[in-house]
């Protein structure tokens, strides 16, 4: 009986200890999270300890084995003991869970400027202004053009991130071979675009004798920027005389939504465009089901390369296209939010993180981020680079398919079509203005815009509803 | 004390379960309650702000839209998802061919084993306006124009209710069949001796004897109304979001998408409160305590 009693007491004690351990750990996290400024000043003076813990969404190997090799190579190249945590899915949730639970990382990859704003407000990120300005590597405009830093600045003008790669723009991507087959020119106006898309639908461009092709497919509202450009409408917010406006919710958008509704009604536009994810949209393009999609410039090269790899004799030719020009000559292209690294305020080894950030923008870092690990993803013999089978699958993308540093050249020729597409992006693409109220506004805009485009609601009514709801929720000023 | 000593081994055996629930259920619950009263930041100070988060949530129109959507979709799933498997269980009980009964049960049960990601993919595939089987049949048989079921507001809730009922029909059906199998055969024998028809046996023997099973299933399904999330997360799109976004989706958006943990925690405590109220109501109405 005594033994039983002792066992009960032991179990209760063990349970209590376990609980109190959890409690202590969590309260410790809360208490050990001093104000960002205190952490920053404290860590600047501390030694890095030679360790580096990274939470990454894109950077790393494509498989667990590849990631282990990448981690090893990263340690070797930087001289740090690197731990690279790359979750297979739900990266955003993993980041939030890590931050709120007090897990400590030295670097976290972020690809959403709205998230950066939230992180700044919540004291999560370290101010990197001094580090960037004093860094020989990062302050060099040849490595990162000076104007680009504005993207990762907070409302206070301080720099809170360092780019992990060059982010391009979205644009209409057209089947050049279909245009040639149907004796059509690349469309410059909305009317010409309609003619081309209609021909893609009705002219049997794939030559199988069946009416099974669509002119256009999209996924999500932001993708249509290249076409909304015809009315000079920029996605998200635009400030006019200090007032918040959303061009997609103005009367000027009505004829554009009517134009899309006409495409849907005539069967020219893929009717699944509302439920499409980007993978489905890409597959439609790659399987000759659709002649035009709106997507990232980098994918022009990847589309061509994928088809060429599948069939070396393919006639498939994707080409990036300029957005449709507005009457006043405006050309609007959508620049994507950048991918960048932040150093969390509770990073245990911020100096190691800074060392990594410089390394990542050098020749060695870029080679690792693009080609991958030597003798695993690629081989180098007598100055000649060759991709291994693993490297071919990775498609020269270990988080850095394209980069800012103009002094670093790829050892391989650019994928077909991508350079022309990127030249268009660099010339015309601009960032969108994403205010903190955008997530709420976006729900209203996308809801009614998609209804108008699909013909479920008259465009005029949809825009009127948008305006009414946006105003009543104080999401626009006029 | 003597009783405790006598049952000491049983108490010891309970300890791991109690510890599990305390750590993984009650501790997060208490932390969530604490968060709902804080201006919760990912790092740094987290000052207490009283009922501000609750105030923000109850003055947010999208919270009430989400509540209405939850009640509509959850209520639909509860009612249709209760009646449909009951009818099928009663029908299968009448089937004499064992192989048919077993095959039907297996086919009905399979969707329950699939995740919402798979079910969502199947729905998008089947209901597609151009290549979907449903629209092809509607066009061939009835000459109808294709319907964009997954993107049309007027169909959105029905699709959610229908797919949820389809997914869990087999599971509920098996519970009903187990209840039917437990009914004393002598009751049917007595009914037959009294000249009862098959319908009268169902009406006066099966259904009354199944009442307790029905109450349990109804109550369990009621508890799930406010927990609908996976399905909506997978199957929603911006065109139908205003009709299908439920309370858990609202909480997810506030917490994960907008990084506003305080309002998200407050909204989740409304979910707890609503679930509690609904459960008490159902218990009263169904006289659950008499089971």
Tens digits of residue pLDDT in A402-428:
999 999 999 998 889 999 999 999 899
Q: Report the chain B residue with the minimal C-alpha distance to residue A442.
A: B238
Q: What is the average pLDDT value for chain B, to the nearest integer?
A: 92
Contact B167, A290 (CB under 8 A): no
Cβ-based contacts of B46 with chain A (< 8 Å): 30
Cβ-based contacts of A473 with chain B (< 8 Å): 61
The pLDDT assigned to A38 comes to 35
Distances from the Cα of A307 to the Cαs of A204, A219, A301, A412, in angstroms?
A: 20, 21, 10, 18
Cβ pairs bridging A and B (under 8 Å): 121
Q: Are residues A131 and A174 in the same domain?
A: no
How many Cβ atoms from other residues are within 10 Å of residue A433's Cβ?
15
In a domain, A229, yes or no: yes
In tens, the pLDDT along A353-385 reads 999 999 999 999 999 999 999 999 999 998 899
| A 458-477 residues inside an 8 A Cβ radius of B | 473
Contact B39, B262 (CB under 8 A): yes
Q: Are residues A261 and A274 in the same domain?
A: yes
In a domain, A423, yes or no: no
Nearest to A317 by CA among A343, A289, A285, A295: A285
Mean pLDDT of A263-279: 92
Nearest-Cα distance to chain B for A310, in Å, is 26
CA–CA dist A195, A181 (Å, integer): 14
Mean pLDDT of B88-111: 90
The pLDDT assigned to A165 comes to 93
Residues 6+ apart with CB under 8 A from A50: A79, A80, A81, A349, A352
CA–CA dist B72, B282 (Å, integer): 17
In tens, the pLDDT along A441-458 reads 998 999 999 999 999 999
Nearest to B258 among A18, A439, A473 (CB): A439
The verdict on A11 touching B (C-beta cutoff 8 Å) is yes
CA–CA dist A308, A52 (Å, integer): 40
In a domain, A78, yes or no: yes
Helices (H) then strands (E): counts for chain B:
16, 0
CA–CA dist A443, B235 (Å, integer): 16
Q: Are residues A81 and A37 in the same domain?
A: yes
In a domain, A306, yes or no: yes
Contact B49, B38 (CB under 8 A): yes
Q: In 3-state terms, what secondary structure has residue A51?
A: strand
Contact A247, A234 (CB under 8 A): yes
In a domain, A23, yes or no: no
In tens, the pLDDT along B23-49 reads 999 999 999 999 999 999 888 889 999
Q: Are residues A173 and A320 in the same domain?
A: yes
A434-443, B102-111, B182-191: which range is least confident on average? A434-443
Question: Is A46 a residue whose pLDDT tops 80?
Answer: no
CA–CA dist A325, A187 (Å, integer): 10
Q: Report the chain A residue with the minimal C-alpha distance to residue B255.
A: A96
Contact A152, A160 (CB under 8 A): yes
Q: Are residues A327 and A184 in the same domain?
A: yes
Mean pLDDT of B132-144: 92
CA–CA dist B68, A232 (Å, integer): 38
Q: Report the chain B residue with the minimal C-alpha distance to residue A96.
A: B256
How many Cβ atoms from other residues are within 10 Å of residue A370's Cβ?
24
Nearest to B43 among A8, A122, A450 (CB): A122
Distances from the Cα of A190 to the Cαs of A66, A197, A290, A428, in angstroms?
A: 46, 10, 18, 18
The pLDDT assigned to B291 comes to 60
Q: Are residues A163 and A173 in the same domain?
A: no
Q: Are residues A232 and A263 in the same domain?
A: yes
Residue B8: both structure tokens together: 């000491």
CA A118 to chain centre: 17
Q: Which residues span the domain enclosing A251?
A: 169-335+428-472
Q: Are residues A250 and A181 in the same domain?
A: yes
Nearest-Cα distance to chain A for B75, in Å, is 25
Q: Are residues A324 and A454 in the same domain?
A: yes
pTM, two decimal places: 0.81
| CATH number of domain containing A185 | 3.40.190.10
Question: Is B64 a residue whose pLDDT tops 70?
Answer: yes
CA–CA dist B275, B223 (Å, integer): 6
The pLDDT assigned to A439 comes to 82
Nearest-Cα distance to chain A for B43, in Å, is 6
Domain count, chain A: 2
Nearest to B5 among A1, A33, A446 (CB): A1
Domains of chain B by start residue, with CATH? 42-290 (1.10.3720.10)
Domain boundary pick from A405, A437, A453: A405
State the pLDDT confidence band at B217, using cuts at 50, 70 and 90.
Answer: very high
In a domain, A416, yes or no: no
Q: Are residues A151 and A176 in the same domain?
A: no
E strand intervals along A252-305 = 290-296
CA–CA dist B167, B111 (Å, integer): 5
Question: Is A251 a residue whose pLDDT tops 50?
Answer: yes
Are B242 and A446 within 8 A, CB to CB? no
Q: Report the chain A residue with the minimal C-alpha distance to residue B46.
A: A30
Nearest to B19 among A18, A124, A271 (CB): A18
Higher-confidence position of A188 and A2: A188
Mean pLDDT of B77-82: 95
In tens, the pLDDT along A317-338 reads 999 999 999 999 999 999 888 9
Are B41 and A35 within 8 A, CB to CB? no
The pLDDT assigned to A189 comes to 94
In a domain, A387, yes or no: yes
Q: Are residues A368 and A449 in the same domain?
A: no
Q: Are residues A86 and A163 in the same domain?
A: yes
* Residue showing tokens 């037959």: B192
Question: Is B20 a residue whose pLDDT tops 60?
Answer: yes
The verdict on B239 touching A (C-beta cutoff 8 Å) is yes
| A 25-54 residues inside an 8 A Cβ radius of B | 26, 30, 33-36
Question: Is A34 a residue whose pLDDT tops 80?
Answer: no
Nearest to A124 among B8, B43, B150 (CB): B43
In a domain, A14, yes or no: no
Q: What is the average pLDDT value for chain A, to the nearest integer?
A: 87
Nearest to B215 by CA among B142, B286, B136, B132: B286
């Amino acid at each position: 009986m005594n033994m039983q009693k002792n066992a009960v007491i032991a179990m209760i004690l063990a349970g209590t200890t376990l609980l109190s351990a959890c409690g202590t750990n969590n309260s410790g996290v809360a208490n050990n999270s001093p104000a960002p400024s205190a952490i920053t000043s404290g860590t600047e003076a501390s030694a890095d300890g030679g360790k580096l813990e990274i939470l990454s969404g894109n950077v790393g190997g494509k498989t667990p084995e590849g990631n282990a090799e990448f981690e090893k190579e990263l340690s070797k190249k930087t001289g740090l003991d690197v731990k690279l945590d790359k979750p297979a899915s739900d990266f955003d949730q993993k980041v939030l869970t890590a931050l709120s639970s007090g897990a400590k990382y030295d670097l976290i990859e972020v690809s959403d400027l709205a998230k950066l704003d939230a992180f700044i407000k919540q004291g999560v990120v370290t101010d990197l202004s001094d580090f960037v300005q004093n860094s020989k590597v990062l302050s060099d405009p040849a490595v990162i053009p000076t104007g680009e830093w504005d993207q990762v600045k907070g409302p206070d003008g301080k720099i809170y991130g360092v780019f992990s790669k060059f982010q391009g723009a979205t644009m209409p991507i057209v089947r050049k071979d279909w245009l040639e087959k149907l004796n059509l020119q690349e469309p410059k106006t909305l009317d010409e675009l309609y003619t081309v898309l209609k021909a893609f639908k009705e002219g049997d461009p794939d030559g199988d004798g069946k009416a099974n092709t669509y002119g256009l497919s999209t996924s999500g509202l932001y993708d249509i920027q290249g076409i909304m450009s015809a009315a000079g409408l920029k996605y998200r917010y635009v400030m006019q005389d200090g007032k918040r406006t959303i061009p997609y919710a103005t009367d000027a958008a009505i004829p554009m939504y009517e134009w899309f509704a006409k495409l849907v009604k005539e069967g020219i536009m893929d009717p699944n465009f509302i439920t499409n994810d980007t993978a489905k949209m890409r597959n439609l393009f790659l399987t000759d089901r659709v002649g035009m999609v709106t997507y990232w410039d980098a994918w022009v090269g990847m589309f061509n390369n994928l088809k060429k790899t599948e069939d070396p004799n393919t006639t498939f030719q994707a080409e990036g296209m300029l957005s449709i020009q507005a009457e006043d000559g405006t050309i609007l292209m959508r620049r994507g939010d950048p991918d960048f690294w932040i150093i969390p305020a509770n990073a245990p080894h911020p100096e190691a993180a800074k060392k990594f950030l410089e390394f990542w923008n050098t020749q060695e870092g870029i080679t690792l981020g693009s080609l991958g690990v030597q003798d695993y993803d690629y081989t180098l013999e007598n100055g000649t680079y060759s991709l291994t089978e693993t490297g071919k699958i990775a498609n020269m993308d270990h988080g850095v398919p394209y980069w800012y540093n103009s002094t670093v050249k790829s050892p391989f020729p650019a994928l077909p079509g991508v350079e022309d597409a990127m030249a268009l992006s660099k010339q015309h693409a601009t960032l969108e203005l994403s205010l903190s109220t955008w997530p709420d506004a976006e729900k209203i805009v996308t809801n009614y815009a998609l209804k108008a485009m699909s013909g479920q609601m008259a465009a005029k009514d949809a825009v009127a509803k948008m305006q009414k709801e946006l105003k009543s929720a104080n999401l626009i000023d006029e | 004390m003597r009783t405790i000593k006598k049952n000491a081994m049983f108490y010891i055996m309970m300890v791991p379960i109690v510890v599990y629930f305390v750590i993984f259920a009650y501790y997060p619950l208490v932390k969530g309650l604490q968060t709902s009263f804080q201006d919760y930041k990912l790092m740094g100070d987290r000052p207490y702000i009283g009922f501000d988060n609750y105030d923000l949530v109850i003055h947010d129109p999208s919270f009430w839209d989400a509540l209405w959507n939850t009640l509509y979709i959850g209520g639909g799933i509860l009612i249709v998802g209760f009646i449909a498997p009951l009818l099928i269980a009663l029908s299968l009980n009448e089937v004499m061919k064992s192989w048919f009964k077993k095959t039907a049960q297996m086919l009905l049960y399979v969707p329950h084993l699939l995740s919402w990601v798979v079910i969502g993919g199947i729905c998008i595939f089947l209901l597609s306006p151009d290549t979907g089987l449903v629209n092809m049949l509607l066009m061939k048989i009835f000459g109808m124009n294709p319907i964009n079921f997954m993107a049309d507001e007027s169909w959105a809730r029905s699709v959610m209710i229908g797919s949820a009922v389809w997914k869990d029909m087999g599971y509920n059906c098996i519970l009903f069949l187990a209840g039917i199998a437990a009914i004393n055969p002598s009751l049917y024998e007595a009914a037959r001796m009294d000249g009862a028809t098959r319908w009268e046996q169902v009406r006066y023997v099966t259904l009354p004897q199944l009442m307790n099973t029905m109450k349990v299933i109804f109550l369990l399904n009621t508890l799930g109304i406010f927990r609908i999330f996976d399905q909506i997360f997978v199957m929603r799109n911006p065109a139908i979001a205003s009709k299908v976004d439920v309370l858990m989706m609202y909480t997810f958006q506030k917490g994960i998408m907008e990084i506003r943990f305080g309002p998200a925690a407050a909204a989740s405590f409304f979910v707890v409160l609503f679930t509690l109220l609904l459960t008490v109501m159902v218990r009263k109405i169904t006289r659950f305590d008499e089971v």
